[in-house]
Chains A and B, each alone.
Chain A
Amino acid sequence: MLDLFSQLLTDYTLRTVALGAATLGIVGGGLGSYAVLRGQSLLGDAISHAALPGIALAFLITGSKAPLPLMLGAAATGIVATLFIIGVTNTTRVPYDSALALALSAFFGVGLVLLTYLQQHAGAAQAGLDSFLFGQAAALVEHDVVVMAVLGGIALLALLLFWKEFKLLAFDPDFGRSLGFPIRMLDIVLTTLLVVAIVIGLQTVGVVLMSAVIVAPAAAARQWTDRLSVMVALAATFGALSGVSGAVVSGATANLPTGPTIVLCMGTVVIVSLLLAPNRGLLWRWWRQWRTSRRLRQERVLYDLYTLAAKHGAGDRPHEAATLDAMVSGSTRTAYVLRRLAEQGLVAETSDERWHLTDEGLEEARRLADKRNLAPDATIDDA
C-alpha cells in the first residue's frame, strides 16, 4: 500500500494518469449531480457517444491530435445531438428515451463511418483516434491533464457562480421563470457544462463508459445527504477517490485497463452507499421496516384489546390469546406480541393465561385510537 503511494509520487506516468482521473472524477461527479437530479442520467451516455464523430471531424479538419481541437469537436457534435434529442421530444410523440437511444447510436454510426474513412485515407497519422472508444489513460501526458484541468475548472467555476440559478432550474424551472430568470438560457448553459465534463473525460475512460462517471458518483452521493451543496461536494469527492484508486490499481496490475477499473471503483462506492448510507441506506431501511411492522403488530393487538374492553365496558377484563388471534385473522404470533407488550408494562397476564390491558396500556391504546382518528365504537359495520 505504502509502496503504491510512493509510486504515485515518483512515477511520472502513474501520477499523470491519477491526476487526470481525479480531474475527470471531480468534474464528472459535480456536474453529474445535476444531470441525475434533473432526470438526465442517460443524456451523458448519448452525449459521449455523439462525441465520436466530432473527434473524427476535428481531426479531419485540423489534422492534429492535440487535445483542445479534439475536445472542441467532441463538444460540438455532443451539443448537436442534445439539440436533436430535445427537438424530437418537444415536437413529436416519440418518447425521450427512444430519442436518446437513436441519437446515441446514429451519431456513433456517423463517427464509425468517419473513423473507417480516415483509416482508408489518412494513413498512419490517424492511429490512436479509436482509443477514444475505451479511452487510453496510459497515453495521457501532462499537457492533456492541464487542458482537462483548465476546462474542468472553468466548468466548476461557472457552476459555483450560478449556483442559486441552477438550483432553481433543477428544482422548479416554472417558478424560476416566474421570478424572471432566463430559464431556457440557464438550461442551455448547464447542459453545455455537462458536455464539457464529458469531453474532458473521453480520453481517459472512453465514450462507452463515460455515462458511469456522470451517474455513479452522483447517485452514491445522493444516498448520504439531502442537501444539494453537500451532494455536489460528495459526488466530486467520490469521483476523485474512485478515479485515483482506479488509476493506481490498474497501474499496479498487469493487463488491467484503467477506464473499466475506474468504473468498477465507482460501482463499488454506489453499492456501499446504497446499502449503508444512514437514513436512506437499504440496511437501515430494512431494519426500520422490521421495526415498523413489529410496532404495527403491537399497536394492533393493543387496539384489539381496547375494542374488546370497550365492548365489555371494563379495561381490565382478561381475554384469551386465541380470541385476539381470531381478531387478527391469519396471525399466529399474538402470544409473542403479547409478551413483548407485557415487557413494556402495557398488558398483563392473569394466572389462567388470559390477558388484559394495564392502566398504562389503556392510556396508550386511547392515545393510539386518537392518533389514528378512531374510537372503538365509531365504525358502523355493515357486515
Chain B
Amino acid sequence: MPDADPALTVRDLTVAYNEEPVLWDIDWTVPAGTLTGIVGPNGAGKTTLLQAILGIETPAAGQVRIFGQSYEAARDRVGYVPQRGSVDWDFPTDALDVVLMGLYGRLGWIRRPGAEEKEEAHAALEQVGMADYADRQISQLSGGQQQRVFLARALVQEADLYFMDEPLQGVDATTERALFDLLRTLQQRDCTVVAVHHDLQTVPEYFDRVLLLNVRRIASGPVEEVFTEENLRRTYGGRVGFLRKNESPISDSASAPNRKEESRA
C-alpha cells in the first residue's frame, strides 16, 4: 500500500552535545518504498540521526514525521536494527528469544509472547537462514549470524519503515550478499529501508537513494544524482579517491579532469 506521505520527513533537526552541534539543521525526506543509505565519515552523526528520529536521543530542535505522523503515533510502523556492538551478547538468552523481542512492541506492556508469536519468530529465523540456530546461546553465534538474528527480529516487527545501523558491518562477503538480498525483498514488499552504510564502493549497487551526512546534510536524493565525487569530497573533506572511473556516477562532467586516478584494482 503506497503512502501519499513520505515515509520520513525531518525538519531542522539539531542535536548538540555540550559545546558543538552533532547534527546541524538537518532537512531530509525519504519517499516511501525506497532503499536509502546514510553515508558519512566517523563522527558525522549517523547513529545520532537514527537515535534522534527514534526518540532515543533528545534533539535540541526540529521535527520528525513518519508517514505524516509523530514518532509516538507511528511507532508500530517502525522497525529498528541497532549496531551489533550495542548489546551484551553474553546475555543469557537464545536466538529465538531475541527474535521474539521484536514482537514486544505489538504485545504492549505485561502480555507475554505465546505459541503464535513463537511460530512467527521461527518463520523469521527461517527466512534469514538461521532456523537451525534457534535455541543457540547468542554468544555462540558468529558475527554474521548475530546480524541475521537482528534482521530476523526486525522482520517480525512487520514494520513499514526500517532503520538499520550498519547492518552489513563486520560480516563476511557471503552474508553481506544474503543480508542485502533480504533488504531488497523488504523493499519489494513496499517497505522503506534506511541504513547507515560504511562501504562507499557498494553504495550505488545497494541503494537507490543516499544521504551524505557530515553534521550537516551535504546532499540527499537519488544515488545517480547525488552520489558524485564532488559531493563526496565535501562530505569527507577532500580525501576521496576510491571510486573507479567507470563506476562513479558523476553527472557533472566539468569536474572530470580533476578526478583523482588512484582507483583500486
Contacts and interface: CB of A to CB of B under 8 A. Distances in A.
**A joins B in a complex:** yes
B216 A380 contact: no
A285 B61 contact: no
Interface of A is mostly: loop
B29 A382 contact: yes
A285 B220 contact: no
B63 A292 contact: no
A289 B17 CA distance: 9
Contacts, number: 58
B25 to A, nearest CB: 7
Nearest to B21: A296
B220 A382 contact: yes
Contacts of A1: none
A329 B218 contact: no
Nearest to B30: A382
Contacts of B209: 382
B217 A372 contact: no
A366 interface: no
Interface string A76-94: 0000000000000000010
Interface in A252-291: 285, 288-289
A300 interface: yes
A30 B221 CA distance: 57
Residue of B61, B62, B220, B221 contacting most chain A CB atoms (<10 Å) = B61
Interface in A321-344: 328-331
Given A293-B16, A330-B63, A383-B27, A374 B219 contact: no
Given A289-B18, A330-B61, A383-B27, A372 B216 contact: yes
B207 to A, nearest CB: 14
A380 B11 contact: no
B172 interface: no
B72 interface: no
Contact of A380 (B62, B139, B226): B226
B90 interface: yes
B25 A380 contact: no
A373 B214 contact: yes
Nearest to B219: A380
B181 interface: no
Contacts of B225: 380
B222 to A, nearest CB: 8
A328 B27 contact: no
A285 B214 contact: no
Q: Which 7 A-B pairs have the closest CB atoms?
A: A382-B221, A93-B90, A383-B29, A380-B221, A329-B12, A380-B219, A292-B19
Given A289-B18, A296-B16, A300-B25, 19 more contacts: A93-B90, A289-B19, A292-B16, A293-B16, A296-B14, A296-B21, A329-B62, A329-B63, A330-B61, A372-B24, A372-B216, A374-B216, A378-B218, A379-B220, A381-B221, A382-B29, A382-B31, A382-B209, A382-B222
Interface of A: 93, 285, 288-289, 292-293, 296, 300, 328-331, 372-374, 378-383
12 contacts: A329-B12, A329-B62, A329-B63, A330-B62, A373-B214, A379-B218, A379-B220, A380-B220, A380-B221, A382-B220, A383-B27, A383-B29
